[in-house]
Chains A and B, each alone.
Chain A
Amino acid sequence: MSSPQSTSSRAKSESPLERLERRGRYKVLVAKLGIDGHDRGAKVVARALKDAGFEVVYTGIRQTPEQVVAAAIQEDVDVIGVSILSGAHMHHMKKLMEKLKEAGADDIPVVLGGTIPIPDVEPLLKMGVRKVFLPGTSLKEIVETVEKLAEEKRKREQELGLA
């Protein structure tokens, strides 16, 4: 998938400080769903998003779908980033997407990273996951994707007169 155009074209007219400020309006939840303890990736991504200017909430490990949904709503986040390295992503993501819908929070875009085999990517996207980051994805790509999804969400809210 190509990187979003909006950020790169704007980058020319925007100072680094302005960019940090703009991103600072967006809030991201980084969540470890399931019971695996591999938190290296989640922490690195959380840190990269924070350094890029976003407000970041990290859940810590061993979160249930219910807990992630509750945290996303309570913190009023713009994007949910999930990290799973246990291989149980199909099961947990299906449940997370269902719970988000039940809670009426399926307007929050969800992205996923971890040890995800390629054949699982399509079914995950069909579930409504907006983007799957495979092993080796750059932080830059993650930051840009999260930014684009957050922007889109805010834009939709504005159009609906919610913002």
Chain B
Amino acid sequence: MVRLYSPEAVEEIRSAAAKWEKEVVPQWLKRLPERFEEFTTLSGIPVKRLYTPADLENFDYMEKLGFPGMYPFTRGIHATMYRARIWTMRMFSGYGGPEETNQRLKFLIKHGETGLSLAFDYPTLIGIDPDDPMAEGEVGIVGVSVPTLKDMEIIFDGINMGEVTTNMTINPPAPVLLSFYVAVAEKQGVPYEKIGGTTQNDPLKEFIAQKSYVFPPEPAVKIAMDLIEWSVKHIPKWNPISISGYHIREAGADAVQEVAFTIADGIEYVRQLIARGLDVDEFAPRLSFFWDSHINFFEEIAKFRAARRMWAKIMKEWFGAKKPRSWWMRFHTQTAGVSLTAQQPWLNIVRTAYEALAAVLGGTQSLHTNSFDEPFRVPSEFAAKIALRTQQILAYETGVADTIDPCGGSYYVEWLTDEIEERAWKYIDRIERMGGMLEAVKKGYPQREITETSYKFQRDVEERRKFIVGVNIFVDEEVEEIRKVPLLEFDQEEIEERQKKRVKWVREHRDQERWKRSLDELRRAAERGENIMPYVLKAAKAYATLGEIMNTLKEVYGVYVEPPIY
């Protein structure tokens, strides 16, 4: 045990602090009352006037913090962190058809982006083709339309897939999109062991928050585990899952719930994979996470640190993982979309910068910074470039990347890290008692918790207990400024027609025999309960479309309809 402060020192500081509260503070309060009776974080954690070593009584340095690259990794997963390598600047991007997205990716690479991240349109996210009636009017708007292998070929035209890593924010259709990706990489001559990137592939949070579910919870989890199992064996550099708190937070959860529900999702997946007979050290190093970085600065920093420590404990102590890499929580971060405002939109640049700073001080491995125009539409080049440059300023000008975990040892941040951890464990205990997250999701538990929190937050904004500049404080009456935002313009109808035509062309020009056989084999494999990944890959290579593959799987697994609770 390495106690940071001796009991004598703590006692002395405590009595001095009490004296300060009693003798000094009241005089000041008389002259200058504080702004609120109670200060709280965004998660409702009470914030005291001052933190001192007395708040960290019995704080064991080695147990709570240790060193970067060493268990429990509170201070970071690598021993050198950003001194050796700056986080990956990975901008979530894509819109229109594959041609527009290919151009956007090249634009971002040219301006210094260091990793790719594909945003798909809604039809792709829920696994339907552009000519499906449900896709009408939605093709290419919030991301790129990728219904076939042909589309993926165009996206990566002129981009060496052996040299970049690509995140794909895709869930139920993850096996299909991964297959498209692998097939194109193969065509480019990239060996399997060099294919790097991430599929989000996190089904539980779809039911909890993101709501791009397709299959019911059990088959949804089964399919996601198929992908992980296949990936760790065949494409060892791929992160087959990105266990995501981001959407949970954006749907209305607070920081504590974000940590708790996401880690509970992770626990469920680890159990599922172990139940398949996999060794924990075989897959655990490939699990990755995805967090939101919200606007309550210190709470976010504490959240990242707490989450990292919790996961290390879970992997080592609950699941008995032996490899240090299995204990790592590697994560991507995105600044908070929900914190952006349509009012005075330029201010979003500032919000995003603060949030990005919190993510960096929290030790993220990669980062997406939102563009200021995102309350309206997918970003313009102009806005995306500012967002990317925001990260570059952090990395190269501010010096915040020069020493590791500079907030470590702050009385407040350490206290808050402990507090978030303690509160998150309580949620996890409750979920464990329900039988794990799959059961909790089926009961609607995290869904209801999030609905409550988001409603409470909105009430706090309305009643001005929480402030949003431009929305409930420092409000501009005129909205002219919003009209001046140069939004990205594209002809959606033309793109939808182009995508419909291409999918039709692909259907007409493929080897029909091979295509039909691949889907039949996929259906039979799914019915037998086999791992579907090799069959999806075969079908993708035979130019089966996204919709066709998903429909084949829907026939076997069924579809999910959510009870409309609010």
Residues on A close to B: CB < 8 A?
Answer: 30, 34-40, 42-44, 46-48, 50, 56, 58-62, 64, 86-88, 90-92, 95, 115, 117-119, 134-136, 138-140
Given contacts A40-B250, A136-B342, contact A58 B564 (CB under 8 A): yes
A38 CB contacts on chain B under 8 angstroms: 211
* 12 other A-B residue contacts (CB within 8 Å) besides A35-B126, A44-B252, A87-B142: A40-B454, A43-B454, A44-B455, A56-B566, A60-B562, A86-B141, A87-B377, A88-B137, A90-B137, A119-B483, A136-B470, A140-B462
The distance in angstroms between the C-alpha atoms of A24 and B250, with both chains bound, is 31
A39-B211, A117-B377 in contact; A44/B138 too (CB < 8 A)? no
Chain B residues near A (Cβ < 8 Å): 122-123, 126, 134-138, 141-142, 210-213, 250-252, 338, 341-343, 375-378, 451, 454-455, 458-459, 462, 468, 470-472, 479, 482-483, 487, 561-566
A35 to B126, CA, bound (A): 8
Given contacts A40-B250, A92-B137, contact A48 B479 (CB under 8 A): no
Contact between B471 and A136, CB atoms less than 8 A apart: yes
Q: Bound complex: CA of A47 vs CA of B458, how far in Å?
A: 11
**Given contacts A60-B564, A91-B136, are A47 and B141 in contact (CB under 8 A)?**
no
Contact B138 A34 (CB under 8 A): yes
Neighbour of B138 across the interface among A42, A43, A86, A95, CB < 8 A? A86
Could you tell me the distance in whole angstroms from the C-beta of A127 to the nearest C-beta in chain B? Answer: 14
| Bound CA–CA A135/B377 (angstroms) | 12
Are the C-beta atoms of A35 and B122 separated by less than 8 Å?
yes
Contact indicator B212/A37 (Cβ below 8 Å): yes
Q: Are B483 and A118 in contact, with the CB atoms below 8 A?
A: yes
* B462: A residues at CB distance < 8 A: 138-140
User: Can you list 9 contacts pairing A with B, beta carbon distance less than 8 Å?
Assistant: A43-B455, A44-B455, A47-B451, A60-B561, A61-B211, A92-B137, A115-B375, A117-B377, A140-B462
Complex Cα spacing A40 to B210, Å: 10
Is A35's CB under 8 angstroms from B375's CB?
Answer: no
Contacts of B126 in A (CB 8 A): 35, 62
List, in ascending order, chain B residues with CB within 8 A of A90's CB: 137
- Interface residue from B341, B378, B483 paired with A136 (Cβ < 8 Å): B341
Contact present for B566 and A35 (CB under 8 Å): no
Instruction: Enumerate chain A residues within 8 angstroms of B458, measured Cβ to Cβ.
Output: 44, 48, 139
- In whole angstroms, what is the CA distance A64 to B136 when docked? 10
**Which residue from chain A places its CB closest to the CB of B562 in the assembled complex?**
A60
In the complex, residue of chain B having the shortest beta-carbon distance to the beta carbon of A46: B566
The distance in angstroms between the C-alpha atoms of A140 and B458, with both chains bound, is 11
Which residues from chain B contact A87 at a C-beta distance below 8 Å?
A: 141-142, 377-378
Q: What A residues does B454 contact at CB under 8 A?
A: 40, 43-44
Is A37 touching B138 in the complex (CB atoms < 8 A)?
no
Among B141, B211, B566, the residue within 8 A (CB) of A37 is B211
Residues of chain A lying within 8 A (CB to CB) of residue B138: 34-36, 86, 88, 91
Indicate which residue in B122, B343, B375, B468 contacts A86 across the interface (CB closer than 8 Å): B122
| A115 vs B377: C-alpha distance when bound (angstroms) | 8
* Complex CA–CA separation, A47 to B565 (angstroms): 10
- In the bound complex, how far is the Cα of B471 from the Cα of A138, in angstroms? 9
Contact flag A135-B375 (CB < 8 Å), given A40-B454, A58-B564, A117-B487: yes
Instruction: Given A58-B566, A61-B211, A87-B142, answer yes or no on A136-B455 (Cβ-Cβ < 8 Å).
Output: no
Which of B343, B376, B451 touches A43 (beta carbons < 8 Å)?
B451
Alpha-carbon distance between A160 and B51 when the two chains are bound, in angstroms:
68
Chain A residues within an 8 Å CB radius of B211: 37-39, 61
Could you tell me the distance between the alpha carbons of A30 and B565 in the complex, rounded to whole angstroms? 12
A43-B566 contact given A34-B137, A136-B342, CB 8 Å threshold: yes
Which chain B residue shows the least CB distance to A87? B141
Select the residue from B451, B472, B487, B561 with max chain A CB neighbours within 10 A. Answer: B451
For B142, list chain A residues within 8 Å (CB): 36, 86-87
